[in-house]
Structure 1
Amino acid sequence: MDAAAATMTTTTTLRKRQLTVRTTRSAEEENAAGKLAAEPAEPVSPSARLVEDFYIVVVIGLATPVNLPAARSGIAAQLARYPRFRSIQVTDDAGGNPRWVRTTVNLDDHIIYPRLDAEAVAANPDKAVEDYVASLSTMPMDESRPLWEFHVLDFPTSEATATTAIRVHHSLGDGMSLLTLLMACTRSAADPTMLPAMPPLPTRKGAIYARPRPPASAGALAFAAWVWSFFVLAWHTVVDVASFFATTMFLKDPPTLFKRVKHGEFQRKRIVHRGLSLDDVKFVKNAMNCTVNDVLVGITYAALSRYYFRKSGDTDTDRDLRLRSILLVNLRPTTSLHACVDMINSGRENEVKWGNALGFIILPFHIGTHKDPLDYVRKAKQVVDRKKSSLEVVFTHVAAEVILKCLGLKAAAAIFHRMISHTTISFSNMIGPVEQVEFCGHPVVYIAPSGYGPPEALTVNYQSYVNTMMVNLAVDEAQFPDCHQLLDDFAESLKRIKDAASSLC
């Protein structure tokens, strides 16, 4: 064990935790609990029940030392007043379904100042932060109180003056829920009296599979093409649903450097990040007339390919190794971020649809060598466009709820984990604040979200913040001891792709 983690006072022994709490309370306790609950208890959603072993970890770099009184007062005024952040999951003896019940929030239970080895911190503060964040994957959370924590590492690193690691159980919300909360809790660094500028509304107004009807003036050929697109949508959906069932039952990715080696055995997760230029990503997007997501998937193809061929020593340049990733997709309306932030700021946070509203896509990842670096982005665009012409994401969301309702949590969780373990990578990306923000009076230098829990050795998350696109990796540290070299591959891949795109302009 590393020196920084060895001196932590909190136990680092991992246990299999039961998320819900079965309680038998006295009449006095029931009356007190009733006074705390301003609204009726809400049932825990099927999506939230399926992620009972999943955690989100957001590492935030701060530009100033932590002002503890200001931080406590800001957290008390913001996070602690949102329903999920002041609730626990309870299953009464009389029923079998967990529900959210309001409880008292004691900030001393949620703001943690770990005691680290002073020599280890002085020798390498970046590694001390990284080691401590890795240790969170081995530390259980107390299920008798709301499942969120602020871990304050109040010493300078190469990136920030202080660092905060926020750990949240995934049942409290998905990425969009937490981004909504972040946007509502922060203020513009340029003018702390103002909310930060919101990300621009996406050009897509409907679902990713939507096919707008052509105007009558477009002619019969355009109308026929529009009708034909629905047949294509139906066919792609049938193929993807069949692939989903096959993956759940028997279809596995081949063993590679990226495939988890020890299934069923917990491995400590190391979470690392690297900032990429968002301007470079947008430059490639504009030069190739594609989307930011296409570019990010292409960069990931290229980075994993570089790592694979260097690490394996494989010299077959014609090889096209196909892996698969689980791509999480937000099912909320594309304008929901703006609408939810508006509701929170007007005091109507109870109207916000918190929790998880996710579907997922099984997205092929191609490992190979290309003389033209832009071919990675072209391949990515082809794959992503194909997946947009499918109802797979809706089906997976509905299927998860039906399976949970019909077969119960234990069976549904087993199916869910089996399906994920048959793929290789988890992948997601989120758009973040477009200007520098302050959190509880502390200017934010960077935001690096990731997590642990999925039965995969590698998770890739992208998060934008101002003009930086942060690539975040959560890896089984025993399987990826050289995870920083993998981060180098992401940076080098973007550089090569950007240089090649310059020739198109």
Structure 2
Amino acid sequence: MALYEEETFAPVSPNGQCLTTSAFTLTVVVVFEFQVPIHDLPTISMLETLFVPINRRFSSLLVGEKNGEKKWKKVEVNVKEHVKVPTIPTGKSPEYYEKYLVEYLLNISSEPLPEHRPLWELHVFPCPTIRAAGNLIFKFHHALGDGYSIMAAILSMVKRADDPSLSVTFPSWNSSCTSSKSESSHDVKSVLKRVPLVSSWILNTVRDFGWSVLKSSVLADDLSPIRSGEVGLEFLPMDISTMEFSLDHIKQIKTSLKVTVNDVITGVIHLGTRLYMKCKDKNAGDKKATTVVLLNTRRNMEASNKSSSEMIKPNVTIPWGNHFAFLQIPLPKLSNTSPGYDPSPNFDPLQFVYESHHVIKRKRNNPAAFLTGGLLDYIRKIKGPETPARYIYKTMSNSSMGISSLIGPADQMSLCEHPISGIYFSVAGVPQSLRVSVLSYMSKVRISFAVDKNFIDLEKLKTCVQNAFESISKAALHS
């Protein structure tokens, strides 16, 4: 009997426990854009032979125990139940199907996954849109895994479009261009120099940990054009749209400023968001606003140093599940600008990149995020997953926006010999009016926005982000 239970049941990761409570439930929607029509894509056999065998979670149900903890229970999978093909009018224009796809994404994002079968679905959208000849939409319950787990799953199914015998590679993203000379550990002066650094590290840890706890309990951001403060934001209708930037262009900015690609992207999003806030409310440049950034907590995990063959061995190199922590990053203020899209001539847009760089570097280099995670895990063991789940919910709802980013393949992929021209993802169920997802693929960075449909002007926000990118690019390349 013990052997049967061991084979049939598997524990849900600590973070995954918090994502399966009554407090809130998150789902991840991943969209594959295809270069060619997908009418002949062998969907059922692909799922049976390539997808379901990747990990037992894709053939398991979530079952609860008396203490609120949940486990994965292995079951037989009827793949046909997981495949959805919408009834779509024929003979329409790509523009029509583009709008139809957006509405379809909004509808499936808000619908809960049935609990009587494994927590994933595949939606086939065969009609040609503006960007693609056809789309496949994977919908995952977030308890199945985080972005790196999902990327591992994707890489288990695809091949390189140019040469299927080669492994998919990843771009270098977060390596800073700064360098430093190593100092001898026997140098007394070197040791003395480290004393204030250690003191600063301790102070930063205490400050960031304390601020994180307060921000997730009693300190809420100001109401603003990006934070309505309305209860139940996770259930309101959302609008989804994406935009692209050249990864090579971003790397040029990174090299010029000696920061990381992630710093540049975060700085662009922060500046664009502040410009939008200022455009909607001339007094919003000074309003208190915070971004929740997801931090991968896997040890020794650098996607740029991993081949796809390594990533698809999740039980060996990259543990499955939800291994993340939250970094709470304040949005720099934007007081010395005129209302509208463009900052004043005396404004330096690079401050948004540099502030993102310094704050993220400081928070990544001290254990405050891990201490918060340890605290939540301790609370979960004592009181069950509902209490830390409410803490995480409060962390998100007290903040103004969220950013999750993922490094995608540098090479074009194909699925069953159908070339994939683009990928993007979005997270649903988050109690925020503005959510941003970032994914690189080939030579592009795709930014996906999900916003409260009746509160945020999505097209105006995208215009502000585009202007922010151009302002930062111009300032960086002439600095």
TM range (shorter): 0.7 to 0.9
Find 1:335's aligned residue among 276, 301, 305.
301
**Cα drift, residue 334 of structure 1:** 3.4
Q: Confirm or deny that 1:366 pairs with 2:335.
A: no
The amino acid that maps onto 1:221 is: K
1:21-420 map, 5 Å: 39-52=7-20, 53-81=25-53, 82-91=55-64, 96-118=68-90, 124-200=96-172, 203=175, 214-216=183-185, 219-264=187-232, 266-312=235-281, 314=282, 319-335=285-301, 337=303, 341-342=308-309, 351=316, 353-368=319-334, 369=337, 371-420=347-396
State the secondary structure of the residue aligned to 1:39: helix
1:490 is the counterpart of 2:459: no
Q: How does 1:472-487 map to 2 (within 5 A)?
A: 472-480=448-456, 482-487=457-462
Instruction: Measure how far apart 1:315 and its partner are.
Output: 6.8
After TM superposition, the structure 1 stretch with the greater mean CA deviation from structure 2, 325-334 or 68-77, is 68-77
Report the CA distance between 1:374 and its aligned residue. Answer: 2.1
Identity of aligned residues (%): 25
Residue deviations 1:409-461 (CA, integer Å, cap 9, x gap): 22222222122211111112211101111123221111111111121111112
- Cα drift, residue 384 of structure 1: 2.2
Measured against aligned partners, the alpha-carbon deviations of 1:340-378 in whole angstroms (never above 9, x if no partner) come to 954576xx6554521111111111112414523223222
Measure the CA separation in 1 of the matches of 2:92 and 2:382: 52
Q: Is the 8 A contact 1:272 1:472 kept in 2?
A: yes
Distance, in Å, in 2 between the alignment partners of 1:121 and 1:99 is 46
User: Could you tell me which amino acid in structure 1 is paired with residue 376 of structure 2?
Assistant: A
Paired residue type of 1:278: L
Deviation of the 1:190 alpha carbon: 0.4
**Preserved contact between residue 71 and residue 441 of structure 1 (Cα < 8 Å):** no
- Give the match's secondary structure for 2:269: helix
Cα distance 1:96–1:131, how it changes in 2: closer, same or farther (>3 A)?
A: closer
2:406: which partner in 1?
Answer: 430
Corresponding residue SS for 2:436: strand
SS of corresponding position for 1:366? coil
One-letter code aligned to 2:57: R
TM-score (norm 1): 0.84
Instruction: Classify 1:43/1:276 alpha carbon distance in 2 versus 1 (closer, same or farther; 3 Å).
Output: same
| Paired amino acid for 2:224 | T
Distance 1:271 1:149, change over 3 A: same
- The one-letter amino acid of 1:465's match is Y
Q: CA deviation at 1:121?
A: 6.5
Instruction: Tell me what 1:10 maps to.
Output: none
Query: Superposed, which structure 2 residues align to 1:1-40 within 5 Å?
Result: 39-40=7-8
> Would the aligned equivalents of 2:68 and 2:384 in 1 still touch at CA under 8 Å?
no
Please report the RMSD computed on the Cα atoms of aligned residues, expressed in angstroms: 2.8
* AA aligned opposite 2:61: I
Deviation at 1:68, TM superposition (A): 4.5
Deviations 1:123-176, CA, capped at 9 Å, x for gaps: 622111111101112212111111111111111111111112211000000011
Alpha-carbon distance in structure 2 between the residues aligned to 1:374 and 1:330: 26
Does the 8 Å CA contact 1:89/1:98 hold for their aligned counterparts? yes
Task: Note if contact 1:63-1:161 (Cα within 8 Å) is conserved in structure 2.
Answer: yes
Secondary structure of the 1:240 match is: helix
Q: Identify unmatched segments of 5+ residues in structure 2.
A: 338-342
In 1, Cα distance between equivalents of 2:28 and 2:269: 21
Cα distance in structure 2, aligned partners of 1:270 and 1:332: 32
- Give the Cα–Cα distance (whole angstroms) in 2 for the partners of residues 87 and 76 of structure 1: 14
Q: Aligned pair in 2 of structure 1 residues 437, 69: CA closer, same or farther (>3 Å)?
A: closer
Taking structure 2 as the reference length, the TM-score comes to 0.88
Q: How far is 1:250 from its partner?
A: 1.3
Partner of 2:287, secondary structure, is strand
